[in-house]
Structure 1
């Protein structure tokens, strides 16, 4: 394929900002985690602390070559592989045909508009917004008179992970995570959790969790809208009060027992749900991320328990951290001085059946406990289920779970137990270049790539621990400690992780890490003060998600294309869209990578980008849309027929100083309206496939 003729660099805004997220976002999303001490103080090695591999990149990639797949991932499906035919780059051994179908659209220029701006030829519409009635009988949204009871039946606040289950050609179920609340924007005159009216705190609790809503296609287009009449029998709100079952090896452990639940098998609600995934048996997997910030009373827990709290980012020196929402004022369980084990009941992957509104969500302890970001499923070559997960904190780890038993299509009673027994692994990476060649400038090493090899280290299999000095339930409840002891590799905020439905390669978004110094740069994190992040590509041995060894490479090192420390897969950087802070990723049916950003540090609004991962277009990043002022791009989801792209527009108007009386965004309703986190859909005006 002939590369397009040279054209001028896509424009950047004038002066890049000093950082990514606005301080207001940092406060409400994660309790200012980055301003606190780094929880991981282990002595685990970084990439260039490990002896360089003697395996060359070309040889390694040939050994772990990507395969053409017999099927692509649909909603609720998993990847299954056949023998390999091409390399990870799609160039060394001849790229597979699907990877030549690069997206084609005119990129959106960086901007700071208070609008959802999409590529020419496309249209957008809001599907669901904060406060929309979800449960039949729920009241209409009333910004100045919200109650906890009303919010429990309405679409929750900030939207993150989005997935879609078709129930016909023109109908389907949309699942949306509600990650966190921003009370400064939700209530006029918010005075903080210490003095807030109790009803406002109840609204905040009810606005967490997730929503299942029925949606319908508009005509024969790629537009979708809420079903607002009829029975809507699937519609459901999951909140911080929804009763959930604890399952797997740690269920019933003394570490999970409380006075309210002496058996350690039942918990109320889920908190701070970020990314997720789906299973082959059509259930939702949703990950609890920054749940640690909702608790108080860390100073009052038993001394022996305090190191475990610190490792999970909970203060043991300040009883009530500044800015805490004070959920403990309405529910005592959030006070650790009174209920020290309650904290251990959060931080899990939760499985939810969208087709049964009466079903009990399940917290799957076999998948470990940490700041979960994503839970992407795949099938191993012998039919077992693999789940890829990131721990979204500075210097944390990448994990994989592989079930003991095989998936049996149609045998739900069997499949619903697959995530309760298996092996939980953590990743250890090795660079293949001399340490002197990773010098902090971002210059490629002499072999022409940032790459290397890696191993999945087993932590626990069922009730058998692989970590010396820790029992199985300790490994699962205190997974970070177990990964420390196993010698896992510290990464830069591992976020969403997805497996390519065409090539079988696994891609992880490493968002950023401004705390990385010149003393601990490595081949996978080649820049100090890394404020732009990168994309990590993993090719597992024999293209098998059950393998315990792999090769890896960085196809994208983000930032200003004019900055020599950036790398766009070898593509001409004068022809790419600038990208910063990758967060969530997904794929279209052709195997192209779509990247949503969070905290763009280049002075523009966040957006959604498309990038081929193979062939001559590898690294050609194009920006498909930008979200409004102060917002983050979440979701995203390219529907299987490629007629629609769903994006979650999280926290519009979340900029320091903004209040309901002085909003900086009026999206999505315009005029003088309050900003409302929403899920939107984009489609081609002429009915063409996305990117065609």
Structure 2
């Protein structure tokens, strides 16, 4: 089948900026039942099965211990990995942490961090926002200064904005969370556009711990804002190709800005990776919509998500969001501007003068984030990334060169092999290489170069027969054994005709977590064995939910651990699996929460609950594991248009002064009162 035959109409399916759903022919699908998954898990628990699959310890077999000591009266089992009491479901407009823990809220949207340090206000300007922490906090990482756990750079993404909260012109109007302030003569005031663009991107903030475990912003030359307007370099196979030549960069080596940065990654050489996820809606195309646009959801004939292209000053930095053909060549307009997005962006937090670099060898899609396997001297660097949209795929990138700690840098990410995952129904899997000239990825099927394969990563993955997943989001690698985990947040569009063993639930409202072990314990292997770690859902007692949840042992979830829509995911140095919800408020789950699992015993507990109408996202720790950072994104997002006009937000967190300060995304610092490791 030619690639042209595989192209299908893209159906715009935006929630609040969700990646459009591509309506296309699905690849090979499999029937599945929960019993089959549990039967396979029981098989894997056997020592022969585990040995055959090469698991480290229990690995995927992870089963609950039956007693605290061996049958011969030997030494008791070690202390539980999860040493806290689970917190209850909550619907309060506050942060809830376990007994024996405390927390602090820091750096909410609008916190001044550089320049003239302008104070937060809805009346602030676009220039002010460029010197303040951005909006809608997401993925982040703590970079210690001189190895300290009390002083470091907190680097965090800002996924998107809620325009009605940002502008004085919106106050008192009946606006939904995605609505814009009224246009003026069919245009948007340019400073509104500049403010929104500067609220996107990444913040680099030096923070220092003082008395009573409280952290504060430190004015520092390393503090930096990277926004939707920041100059960026294009690297890798797509650099200089015709796909990325624009009026701004006729030679195809530069672009401006990064958009819709959701999850993140941190490299073995100490840089930060920002993921460009739901970027397609920022653009519009008034004419032909080539496959580089259509398979990704760029709209035709409509204004873009924020209508930045309608800025009344006609500035080039805003005009570029109209990707229509206007000139004689690509160097005369911005027909290729959308192709400059959908990449992983590398940022050096310790060099504020450096340009961020878009690493195109890692593929172009709706990157939720990227997770690196622990780097080993003399072996390739391996990392994984999910494409966060329904029926999209999971990818792996393996560098061509081997890792050398003394010389490693971002150039390693410019050469290598991008793979896409196929999950077979027997619990095995394959990594399918997306390499020009191999397996039909050639001119006969519409691909002209490796740059073409990477620009059209989704189409190449379609062609190769990858497994469509239920919104692959964050990934994590267990440092103890190399097991890889990925959240599959939900997919209500999956039906009985297109379930598969890796995505077995019809109308999967509550999602699940999949994990795999690379064959031979080699992260660069091209085959693997997989299992489902847990299913989100309720305990089955509500009587309204057919998607009952199951914990890592296949036991029905309880009041201590029911969860819906797992999204954020991280595994700490002790192998605790931290799981963050993105479900909004729903009964019986309450506000979005964060849970922790022990993959060896199967224990799963709720650790934290956030305020109203938010999602818990972003997670990192200090090196001593005694300080945990998480983000609370879009509190109060569910406020109706009528209530917004009246100033009645569903949440007023974190300031609780709605008359002067609307709800704001912010970072939450959590610590154990006895000074111990968080989670222990």
Q: Quick one: distance in 2 between partners of 1:647 and 1:594? A: 11
Q: Quick one: distance in 1 between partners of 2:421 and 2:615? A: 28
* Counterparts in 2 of 1:26 and 1:134: CA distance versus 1, 3 Å: farther
> Which residue does 2:59 correspond to in 1?
87
Q: Does 1:395 align with 2:391?
A: yes
Match of 2:350 among 351, 355, 360: 355
> Which residue does 2:330 correspond to in 1?
none
Contact 1:129 1:676 in 2 (8 A): yes
> Which residue does 1:417 correspond to in 2?
411
* Aligned-residue offset at 1:197: 2.6
SS of the aligned residue for 1:200 comes to helix
Match of 1:208 among 196, 200, 207: 200
> Which residue does 1:129 correspond to in 2?
108
> Structure 2: 5+ residue runs without aligned partners?
1-12, 68-75, 171-179, 327-333, 541-545
> Which residue does 2:190 correspond to in 1?
198
* Counterparts in 2 of 1:112 and 1:196: CA distance versus 1, 3 Å: farther
Q: Quick one: distance in 1 between partners of 2:59 and 2:233? A: 43
* Counterparts in 2 of 1:639 and 1:536: CA distance versus 1, 3 Å: farther
Q: Quick one: distance in 2 between partners of 1:579 and 1:428? A: 27
* Aligned-residue offset at 1:690: 1.1
Match of 1:108 among 74, 77, 87: 87
> Which residue does 2:216 correspond to in 1?
225
> Which residue does 2:488 correspond to in 1?
510
> Which residue does 2:549 correspond to in 1?
566
Match of 2:232 among 234, 244, 255: 244
For residues 178-204 of structure 1, give each alpha carbon's deviation from its aligned partner in whole angstroms, at most 9, with x where no partner exists: 110110222242525655432111100
* Counterparts in 2 of 1:93 and 1:607: CA distance versus 1, 3 Å: closer
Match of 1:489 among 446, 467, 472: 467
Contact 1:122 1:685 in 2 (8 A): yes
* Counterparts in 2 of 1:64 and 1:286: CA distance versus 1, 3 Å: farther
Contact 2:88 2:560 in 1 (8 A): no
Q: Quick one: distance in 2 between partners of 1:347 and 1:291? A: 7
> Which residue does 1:21 correspond to in 2?
none
Q: Quick one: distance in 2 between partners of 1:613 and 1:385? A: 25
Q: Quick one: distance in 2 between partners of 1:212 and 1:94? A: 47
Q: Does 1:372 align with 2:356?
A: no
Q: Output aligned runs, 1:217-616, within 5 Å.
A: 217-219=209-211, 221=213, 223-228=214-219, 232-296=220-284, 298-301=285-288, 305-316=289-300, 318-320=301-303, 324-329=306-311, 330=315, 331-337=318-324, 338=326, 339-379=334-374, 382-412=378-408, 415-432=409-426, 452-460=427-435, 467-469=441-443, 470=447, 471-562=449-540, 565-570=548-553, 571=555, 573-574=557-558, 576-600=560-584, 601-603=586-588, 604-615=590-601
Q: Output aligned runs, 1:12-31, within 5 Å.
A: 27-30=15-18
* Aligned-residue offset at 1:86: 4.0
For residues 196-226 of structure 1, give each alpha carbon's deviation from its aligned partner in whole angstroms, at most 9, with x where no partner exists: 43211110011000000001112374x4322
* Aligned-residue offset at 1:639: 3.3
Q: Output aligned runs, 1:39-54, within 5 Å.
A: 39-48=22-31
Q: Quick one: distance in 2 between partners of 1:525 and 1:119? A: 33
> Structure 1: 5+ residue runs without aligned partners?
1-24, 68-84, 433-451
* Counterparts in 2 of 1:93 and 1:250: CA distance versus 1, 3 Å: farther
> Which residue does 1:10 correspond to in 2?
none
The runs of at least 4 aligned residues of structure 1 exceeding 6 Å deviation read 52-56, 92-95, 97-100, 463-466
Q: Quick one: distance in 2 between partners of 1:566 and 1:201? A: 43
* Counterparts in 2 of 1:475 and 1:282: CA distance versus 1, 3 Å: same
Q: Quick one: distance in 1 between partners of 2:391 and 2:15? A: 20
* Counterparts in 2 of 1:94 and 1:224: CA distance versus 1, 3 Å: farther
For residues 105-156 of structure 1, give each alpha carbon's deviation from its aligned partner in whole angstroms, at most 9, with x where no partner exists: 122211211111211211111121111112132311122x121111011100
* Aligned-residue offset at 1:664: 2.1
Q: Does 1:185 align with 2:168?
A: no
Match of 2:99 among 112, 120, 131: 120
* Counterparts in 2 of 1:133 and 1:371: CA distance versus 1, 3 Å: same
Q: Quick one: distance in 2 between partners of 1:192 and 1:537? A: 47
For residues 78-114 of structure 1, give each alpha carbon's deviation from its aligned partner in whole angstroms, at most 9, with x where no partner exists: xxxxxxx44322349999x999742121222112111
For residues 637-659 of structure 1, give each alpha carbon's deviation from its aligned partner in whole angstroms, at most 9, with x where no partner exists: 23332211111111111014153
Q: Quick one: distance in 1 between partners of 2:77 and 2:266? A: 24
SS of the aligned residue for 1:374 comes to coil
Q: Quick one: distance in 1 between partners of 2:29 and 2:368? A: 21
SS of the aligned residue for 2:195 comes to helix
Contact 2:50 2:58 in 1 (8 A): no
Contact 2:488 2:567 in 1 (8 A): yes
Q: Quick one: distance in 2 between partners of 1:466 and 1:544? A: 27
Contact 2:144 2:151 in 1 (8 A): yes
Match of 2:134 among 156, 161, 170: 156
SS of the aligned residue for 2:497 comes to helix
Q: Does 1:640 align with 2:623?
A: yes
Q: Quick one: distance in 2 between partners of 1:60 and 1:458? A: 28
* Counterparts in 2 of 1:146 and 1:310: CA distance versus 1, 3 Å: same
Q: Quick one: distance in 2 between partners of 1:289 and 1:314? A: 13
SS of the aligned residue for 2:481 comes to coil
Q: Quick one: distance in 2 between partners of 1:495 and 1:198? A: 34
* Counterparts in 2 of 1:492 and 1:61: CA distance versus 1, 3 Å: farther
* Aligned-residue offset at 1:61: 4.2
TM-score (norm 2): 0.84
* Aligned-residue offset at 1:575: 6.2
SS of the aligned residue for 1:568 comes to coil
Contact 1:116 1:626 in 2 (8 A): yes
Structure 1 range deviating more: 479-488 or 403-412: 403-412
Contact 1:98 1:591 in 2 (8 A): no
Q: Quick one: distance in 2 between partners of 1:26 and 1:656? A: 18
Contact 1:90 1:99 in 2 (8 A): no
Contact 1:391 1:397 in 2 (8 A): yes
Q: Quick one: distance in 2 between partners of 1:380 and 1:199? A: 44
> Which residue does 1:140 correspond to in 2?
119
* Counterparts in 2 of 1:626 and 1:347: CA distance versus 1, 3 Å: same
Contact 1:47 1:489 in 2 (8 A): no
* Counterparts in 2 of 1:244 and 1:383: CA distance versus 1, 3 Å: same
Q: Quick one: distance in 2 between partners of 1:514 and 1:155? A: 35
> Which residue does 1:9 correspond to in 2?
none
Q: Quick one: distance in 2 between partners of 1:94 and 1:539? A: 25
Higher relative contact order (CA 8 A, sep 6+): 1
